Amino acid sequence: MWWQSASWIVPYSVVLTLRTARIGLPWRKHPEIRDLIFPSETGGPMNRNSLHRRHFRPLAEKASLPKKARLYTLRHTFATLWMEFNEPVKVLQEILGHHRIDQTMNTYAHVMPHIQADAFGRFSRRFSRR
């Protein structure tokens, strides 16, 4: 199951996990921010540096990620794996919020030779079976 807000599409299991983690946090004082994943203590969106320092860095260390890993690193890794698993690029474009598909294709072109080789292999095997 999936859940969609105006900005993001995420698996419903992630939504449930995030809701569970909210117990005792700013959502109780500010119910109007229920759609924010990481609100600040005052009820607005959390500052990027604060998010990195207070939430991402401790989780990254626990997961043994390199010190230089950032949230963007996870986004890039996700997109690269999506392409390597041969999932539709159009869907990836929408997930990443790219306005044009060529932005997605150009950013992740380094994955394409592998995908092209696999596709060409599948295509050529169709002719060799005869």
pLDDT in tens, 4-50: 444 566 777 877 777 666 555 555 666 666 667 777 777 777 888 88
* Domain extent listing, the chain: 2-46, 71-128
Query: What global pTM score does this model have?
Result: 0.65
Judge whether 76 and 104 are in contact, CB under 8 Å: no
Distance, CA of 122 to CA of 67 (rounded, Å): 40
Report the distance separating Cα 114 and Cα 120, nearest Å: 10
| Average pLDDT value for the chain | 80
Q: 21-49 as b/e, with b when 16 or more CB fall inside 10 Å?
A: eeeeebbeebeebeebbbbeeeeeebeee
In the block, residue with structure tokens 């997109």: 79
Report how far residue 106's alpha carbon sits from residue 108's, in angstroms, rounded to the nearest whole number: 6
